[in-house]
Structure 1
Amino acid sequence: MTPMKTLPFLRETSGCFLSLLLVASLIHSSSSRALSDSEFAFIARRQLLDLHENDDLTDDYESHVKLNFTFQNSELKSAYIALQAWKRAIYSDPFKTTRSWEGPKVCDYDGVFCASSLNDPKLMVVAGIDLNHADIAGYLPVELGLLTDLALFHINSNRFCGIIPKSFSKLTLLHELDVSNNRFVGPFPRVVISIQSLKFLDIRYNNFEGELPSELFEMELDALFLNNNRFVSNIPETLGSSTASVIVFANNRLSGCIPNSIGKMYNTLNEIVFQNNNLTGCLPMDIGMLGNVTVLDIASNTFNGVLAKTIKGLGKIEELDVSNNMLAGFVSDNVCRLPSLKNFSFSYNYFSGEAESCLPLNRKDIVFDDIGNCIPDRPKQKSAKECQPVVSRPVECSKSKCGGGGGHSPPKPTDDDPYDQSPVKRQRPPPPPKHFPPPVVKPPVHSPPPPVNSPPPPVPSPPPPVHSPPPLVQSPPPPVHYPPPPVHSPPPPRSPPPTPKREVILPPNIGFQYSSPPPPKFPGY
């Protein structure tokens, strides 16, 4: 039987292009635009089976490519080979962004930026690519590894699929890698760990899955965006080794504890977001060491226990969101009077009391949200039936595997429990239970009676706090731009702050100081 004429083309693009066609047909045949997990898994396998970007790039690849053009230098010749291979790997370019990618003058291509070579200032090389918001469909060919002078690679808000090719390990000068809001699949792209100069990594809004590698947090990054993927592992204990000032884990399927090592990030960390995962256990005491943090969001997980007294160490915190968890106990002045606080949501938990300073009507300079708890005399609280199973069985965080043991500054025994809220409960105690059992005074059997005129035992003074926060160092490493990319496309508009408290929406100011703000997510596929 004679094979069809289109067979070679289908064989070459079966992994990614046919997956796009399959996705389109699934959406067309379904009343809902969302794909099920089984449909997604099938599509991901199709993409990963036989794409050419799974291959690596040989060292002498460009020497085997015959061209009729002449170039100013070999670097521009390599760039031409890479960009032409990329253009062939594009299936759809609705804004005709790559229409100008013709001829040997690669520095004139739209979205391609040249600068002087670091090795020889007289030579021009391709130093940056910015195709943000072009809605291009295609994949990344292995030939992109020929762009060895590349310092910036931005392709957010497109429809690229497949994986990040292994040949990216040859981009040794790459400082910024932004592939967010695309359709990449497969495990975490470990090739990025080999790029030692990388400072900014943004892979959010894709379909990466599986485990987060521990080596990721040992890279010298300044910003790391992992949100809106399908990662399912625990957060590695190496988190505390990260130099990043912004880390976003939100909207994945991560489980387990927040590592105790988080306290080691006190010098550099400014914003960290754990929102909407499957994280659990008590919050580590070492969170109180993060004196430079301005944003801390743990909303929509299953954290339990109480807010440790060490949280008063968050002297620069502005946005604090612990809503939609199973936290209980008392919300004290230690939290509500933090000096830089602007917005504090502790709604939809099981707190049974709050200090006067936490009441929304008492503070006009701070936004508080306490609804959906178990606080007497407050509106919109849980019913007694909902509260009883959690409030009647308090979690002992000092004995919990999450947050209790194994910290870098463990609590002192017995009388210095950082999770003990008894001193602050006197400010606004929750109502006592209806029936108190009568006190039983029964001296020990073999103990001699105390002397009649013995003085009362001394009253111990309150113990000092467990952690004295380390000195604040306000010098996180700035993002490195080489070269500063010309802005050919306007940045996306910043979305207004989310109003419904129970929706899982990231605050729009997360990472706003970086060159690639959170991209809008295209509906469906």
Structure 2
Amino acid sequence: MQAYGCFLVSFFLFSYFSSFSSALTDAEVSFIAHRQLVSLPEGGDIPDNYEFEVELDLKFPNTRLRRAYIGLQALKKAVYSDPLKTTQNWVGKNVCAYTGVFCAPALDDPEIEVVAGIDLNHADIAGHLPAELGLLTDMALFHINSNRFCGIIPKSFRRLTLLHEFDVSNNRFVGSFPDVVLEIPNLKYLDLRFNNFEGKLPPELFNKELDALFLNDNRFTSTIPENLGNSPISVLVVANNHLEGCIPNSIGKMVNTLNEVVLSNNKFTGCLPPEIRQLANVTVFDISSNTFSGIMSKTLKGLEKVEELDISHNMLTGFVPESICMLPNLGNFTFSYNYFNGKAQKCVPGSLKDVVFNDASNCLLGRPKQKSAKECYAVVSKPVDCDKAKCGGGHGPSKPSQPPVENPKTPKPSPELVPTTPTPKPQPPKEETPKEQPSKEEPPKVQAPKEEPPKVKPPKEEPPIKVQPPKDEPSTVQPPKEELPKEQPPKDEPPKEQPPKDEPPKAQPPKEEAPAPESVVPIFPPPIVQTPPPEPFGQSPVIQIHPQPPLVHSPPLVVVSPPPLVHSPPHHQSIHPHHHFILPHHQFTLLHHHQSTHLHRQCTRLHHQCTHLHQ
């Protein structure tokens, strides 16, 4: 009922905002991005004395408000479209009265007032971020989610040393990961989701003292850095990207802080690291829509506080144990669209009153909507040994290890080339032919640098060469006699190692036999399943939180999108725990903001349930 209420609120808000929102065309996006590139100073930052280069006729209570005025006016000029007229009253020296701008006493001098935050959430503004925003050095909050900002994050943002929360989600920012955020020392909340950022995730990101990290619905293409465990974050959401590789084993070091993990809809592979069982404080664990493999076993048994568990749409096999289905706080367990061929009775849908199970499209005997026997046998008969496997379920390392074992077999076809050389030649080099046989193709290689390079590359040319000068065979015999000392050194068999090097393509066919060792251990016999074919993805997980990537028209999409809102309609108060930090400008205090702690854990469950209901 609660989720249904969230859906209705989101639907009405979507309809409301869509009435005035308009999507940017590609031409408009390019125009805005070009405007930013032209306006940005060299290096994307402003000079240290920039404020003194700007002449103003207005007088301000203090120099900090003067700097804020310069930055806010630059932002207003960078606006391409403002259908809600949010910045219409951004006129005059009273910057604290500007819509979306909040002031508070300075931390280092309570006697003066400074701009402490900017909140333009859902303003539907199209434009870019000017470098002059780096002048607002007292700003602790910068929230512009659900707009149509384009371009990049300016380097001048590194000057915002007091910035605590940075939310630019649901816009149209582009480029690689904005490294400038790594230079903001007090940053705790980073939200970049629903943009077009791409490239690799920097390892330095997980060395920062962040509390929440939202990177979902971008175009990141890399592995998760191995130092993931160094991060003290409580919420990690990287869904709907192009990330690959395994989950780093260092995730076990996050036992005291990690509360939500959402890795869904990426390209992650391999087995689940055993360190996951150490995450006793995790309440949401979602690894759905990847290609994780192996036997689940008791890896997830340690998630004692987990409420939402989704491992669907992977290649997991084995038995679903009762220890997981009976976790004390479990409310929803989705393990559909895998290859499980057995499960405990307590894991059957409907067996527990307070837990929702989804077991569709597996290999479970007697259960409806399962995979066919043929489809199951292809995977179940080749179980992955997670003790030996690495990324990719162990298939990667096994292939290169086998070709060198079969290299001695590859020289066997080479004797076919040896009889061709002695047959046309009468036996003057009788003593040399047996010497040439062990080296096989190397005698022509010794003669090749002078006269017979074509013989090595196209073997078909050797017969015509041998047929044309049959009488000149003594001449062919004499060169080898003169080169006997040259042939003897290569007899030490190193040349034998070279032919195998030329024959990796012959060693590749055995690579296809890499799965053979796995098939030798068929732990699970081919299930005799005579059930109807699997139905389409009609029964999706109840708690599916990996939405479709947002459309280009971000404003209509954003209202129901996951970005947490700080100063927005009531339904977002349960999503964003920081709403209590944004108060009317006469009540907001920067000191209160910095002394308050992030209460992500109190609202994560509702956030998880309402995230992507716009699907």
Structure 2-normalised TM-score?
0.61
Q: Is the aligned partner of 1:357 residue 2:346?
A: yes
Aligned residue among 229, 234, 238 for 2:227: 238
Paired residue type of 2:176: P
1:259 CA drift (Å): 0.5
**Of residues 39, 54, 58 in structure 2, which corresponds to 1:65?**
54
Q: Does 1:194 align with 2:198?
A: no
Name which of 9, 22, 25 aligns with 2:26: 22
Mapped pair 1:162 → 2:157: no
Question: Does residue 52 in structure 1 map to residue 56 in structure 2?
Answer: no
Tell me, in whole angstroms, the C-alpha distance in 1 between the residues paired with 2:108 and 2:127. 33
- SS of the equivalent of 2:301 reads helix
Q: How does 1:181-220 map to 2 (within 5 A)?
A: 181-220=170-209
8 Å CA contact 1:260–1:403 kept in 2: the answer is no
Instruction: Return the alpha-carbon distance in structure 1 between the equivalents of residues 309 and 100 of structure 2.
Output: 39
Structure 1 residue corresponding to 2:276, chosen from 284, 287, 304? 287
Is the 8 Å Cα contact of residues 174 and 195 (structure 1) preserved in structure 2?
A: yes
Secondary structure of 2:185's partner? Answer: coil
Question: What corresponds to 1:111 in structure 2?
Answer: 100
Report the Cα distance in structure 1 between the residues aligned to 2:567 and 2:321, rounded to whole angstroms.
50
Aligned: 1:304 with 2:293:
yes
**2:569 aligns to what?**
490
Indicate how the Cα distance of structure 1 residues 520 and 183 shifts in structure 2: closer, same or farther if over 3 A, else same. Answer: farther
- Kindly report which structure 2 residues correspond to 1:75-224, keeping only aligned pairs within 5 A, or say none: 75-224=64-213
Q: Which residue of 1 aligns with 2:373?
A: 384
Determine the C-alpha separation between the residues in 1 that align with 2:247 and 2:35: 33
Query: After superposition, where does 1:312-323 map in structure 2 within 5 Å?
Result: 312-323=301-312
**Structure 1 pair 402–289 and aligned structure 2 pair: CA distance change class (3 A):** farther
Give the drift of 1:310: 3.5
* Most deviating of 304-313 and 43-52: 43-52
How much has 1:339 moved relative to structure 2?
1.1
Q: Deviation of residue 210 (structure 1)?
A: 0.2
**What aligned pairs does 1:250-265 form with structure 2 within 5 A after superposition?**
250-265=239-254
CA pair 237-332 structure 1, distance change in 2 beyond 3 A: same
Indicate conservation of the 8 Å contact 2:141/2:163, yes or no: yes
- TM-score normalised by length of structure 1: 0.71
Query: Any conservation in 2 of the 1:492–1:519 contact (CA below 8 Å)?
Result: no
5+ residue gaps, structure 1: 1-18, 26-41, 406-428, 435-485, 497-508
3-state SS of the aligned residue for 1:87? helix
Give the whole-Å Cα distance in 1 for the aligned partners of 2:117 and 2:574.
27
User: Structure 1 residue 361: deviation in Å?
Assistant: 2.4
Q: Residues 283 and 402 of structure 1 are in contact (CA less than 8 Å); yes or no, is this contact kept in structure 2?
A: no
Match of 2:493 in 1: none
**CA distance in 2: counterparts of 1:487 and 1:44, whole angstroms:** 26
Equivalent residue of 1:287, what SS?
helix
The alignment covers a number of residue pairs equal to 400
Displacement, 1:311? 1.9
Distance 2:356 2:290 in 1: 22
The offset of 1:402, in angstroms, is 3.8
SS state at 1:100 partner: coil
Which residues of structure 2 form unaligned runs of 5+?
1-22, 395-522, 529-564, 576-601
Is the CA contact (8 Å cut-off) linking 2:304 and 2:329 kept in structure 1? yes
Q: In the alignment, is the contact (CA less than 8 A) between 1:204 and 1:226 conserved in 2?
A: yes
SS across alignment from 2:163: coil
Pairwise CA distance, 1:404: 9.2
Q: 1:139 to 1:293 in 2, by over 3 A?
A: same
Query: How far, CA to CA, are the matches of 1:304 and 1:337 in structure 2?
Result: 23
Could you tell me whether the CA contact under 8 Å between 2:381 and 2:526 is conserved in 1? no
**Letter in structure 1 aligned against 2:26:** L
CA shift at 1:118, angstroms? 0.8
Distance in 2 (alpha carbons) for counterparts of 1:296 and 1:520: 18
User: Do 2:129 and 2:154's aligned partners in 1 also have CA atoms closer than 8 Å?
Assistant: yes
Larger radius of gyration: 2
**CA 1:519–1:404 in structure 2 vs 1: closer, same or farther (change >3 Å)?**
closer
Distance in 2 (CA, whole Å) between partners of 1:181 and 1:158 is 7
8 Å Cα contact 1:180/1:519 also seen in 2: no
Structure 1 stretch displaced more, 301-310 or 348-357: 301-310
Q: How does 1:37-48 map to 2 (within 5 A)?
A: none
In structure 1, C-alpha distance between the alignment counterparts of 2:362 and 2:74, rounded to whole Å: 58
Tell me the equivalent position of 1:277: 266
The one of the two structures with greater contact order (alpha-carbon pairs below 8 A, sep at least 6) is: 2
Task: Tell me which of 369, 378, 386 is aligned to 2:358.
Answer: 369
Does residue 225 of structure 2 align to residue 225 of structure 1?
no
Q: How far, CA to CA, are the matches of 2:113 and 2:612 in structure 1?
A: 31
Structure 1 position 309, deviation (Å): 1.6
